[in-house]
Amino acid sequence: MPDFNKIYLFRMTHIENISHILSFGITHRNSENANPNYVPIGDGSLITSRNTKLLPNGKLLGDYIPFYFGVRTPMLIVMQKGWNGINATDAANIVYCITSVQEMIDHHLDFIFSNGHANSDLSDFFTSSDIMNIETIVDFNATKVKWWNSVTDTDLKRRKEAEFLVGEDIPYSAIRGYVVFNEKAKSDLVKLNIDKNIIIVNQNYYF
């Protein structure tokens, strides 16, 4: 049986969004508690595409809050470098909110998950009824690689970006901790009354 407490989920957000998360949790775009001052850091064209992609269950991909199963994702390097026409975001302004599959189960949240980038036509989607098989569905070796360019495995990048998708607001109580780039970012979170013991500084999570 999988140890869902040790299957961690990572969501990246701008540090300026954290104060709203402390009050309302991680909210989806259609929530009555959605952040009116949300600071985006992702690829706008990809977000638009996700908002129109229909999933096998008849819902739109954009209606789910996405998490990755690992860090140092292709999306992160796009954010930091400012590729694809987006504004670069300093690593110190990017915060990982960390939870786990077990927290999603314990909070009775609606979720699905994929075995690759959710926007890819090659990826398949699975429901909570498949969660016991997650270790054979998701390639956790792929989600943990530091680099995804491979001449022998051209599908590695897609599998690294497997997603856990939550269909409703995620309460603050489901967040187990945070990872930030430097001590300044940690200090900024502590000033928001976040327990310093659940904030980790780890530059290896960034590019």
Q: How many Å is the Cα radius of gyration of the chain?
A: 16
**How far from chain centre, in Å, is Cα 72?**
11
Q: What is the pLDDT along the chain (207 residues), one digit of tens a residue?
A: 999 999 999 999 999 999 999 999 999 988 999 999 999 998 878 888 899 999 999 999 999 999 999 999 999 999 999 998 899 999 999 999 999 999 999 999 999 999 999 999 999 999 999 999 999 999 999 999 999 999 999 999 999 999 999 999 999 999 999 999 999 999 999 999 999 999 999 999 999
Residues 24, 28, 32, 35: is their CA dihedral positive or negative?
positive
- Cβ neighbours of residue 120 under 8 Å, at least 6 residues apart? 158
Closest Cα partner for 168 from 13, 19, 24, 2? 24
Give the pLDDT score at 116: 98
Q: Per-residue DSSP letters for 73-103?
A: -HHHHHHHHT-TTPPP--GGGEEEEEEEHHH
Give the pLDDT score at 44: 78
Give the pLDDT score at 126: 98
Give the pLDDT score at 85: 86
Give the pLDDT score at 47: 82
194: which strand partners? Answer: none
